[in-house]
Amino acid sequence: MKYDTKECESRMQKSIASYREALSTIRAGRANPDVLKKITVDYYGSPTAISAIAEIKVTDARTITITAWDKSAMKGIEKGILTSDLGINPQNDGSCIRLSFPPMTEERRKELSKQVSKMGEDAKVAVRNIRRDANDAVKAMKKNSEMTEDEVKTADKAVQDLTDKFIKEIDAVTAEKSKEIMEI
């Protein structure tokens, strides 16, 4: 019986998708509406994403405009942004909220770049854990005499090739995000 690497590959793809999602919430030098994804607002007693109750627009490279469909939610949105770790003071003019992203200092850029590198290492660990699970499954199949020695070697090589491919992709995504952060 041959080991199927499709599940292993699918899990590794999910790990990378999760990593990309986490990176999208990190603020680089430009205004990015994804930084608001993790912020929830108390809207009629339930935590709600800002994007569900307001229109979010990037008006220029350093400004995001938030226009609530229900004007009574404006104070809640403003409070949600203030209590988040975004570090930006919203300007509420009654009809919309403006977020002006100041240029980051060199120190902050380096700090964010280190954070991205750490997240990249965590993503690599997740991929390696998936490799370990796959290798354990192959060993169990061999122990139960479901695979021959040659099939085990072939399966191990296939899993390692997948791991190398996804580690390379994580490195590329990390380098791209670090470059984006370090741009002035």
pLDDT value at position 160? 93
pLDDT at 89: 84
- On whether both 47 and 81 belong to a single domain, the answer is yes
Domain boundary among 80, 100, 120: 100
pTM of full prediction above 0.75: no
Query: 111 and 90, same structural domain?
Result: no
pLDDT band at 29 (very low <50, low <70, confident <90, very high): low
* Range of lowest pLDDT (68-72, 84-88, 117-121, 173-177): 84-88
What is the bridge-based pairing of β-strands 63-68 and 46-49?
unpaired
Whole-number average pLDDT of the chain: 86
Percent of the chain residues past pLDDT 70, beyond the cut = 96
Each residue's pLDDT tens digit, 116-172 = 999 999 999 999 999 999 999 888 888 888 888 888 899 899 999 999 999 999 999
CA gap 101, 62 in Å, rounded: 5
pLDDT at residue number 184: 61
The answer as to whether 1 is a domain residue is no
Co-location of 47 and 88 in the same domain: yes
Residue 174 lies inside a defined structural domain of this protein: yes
| Average pLDDT of the residues in 63-91 | 85
User: Is residue 78 within 8 Å of residue 92, measured between CB atoms?
Assistant: yes
3-state secondary structure (DSSP) of residue 84: coil
Structurally, the chain folds into a number of domains equal to 2
Q: Which domain holds residue 115?
A: 6-24+105-182
Are 53 and 81 contained in the same domain?
yes
Output the domain CATH number for residue 164: 1.10.132.20
Q: How many CA atoms lie within 13 A of 35 on its CB side?
A: 23
Residue 1 has a pLDDT of: 54
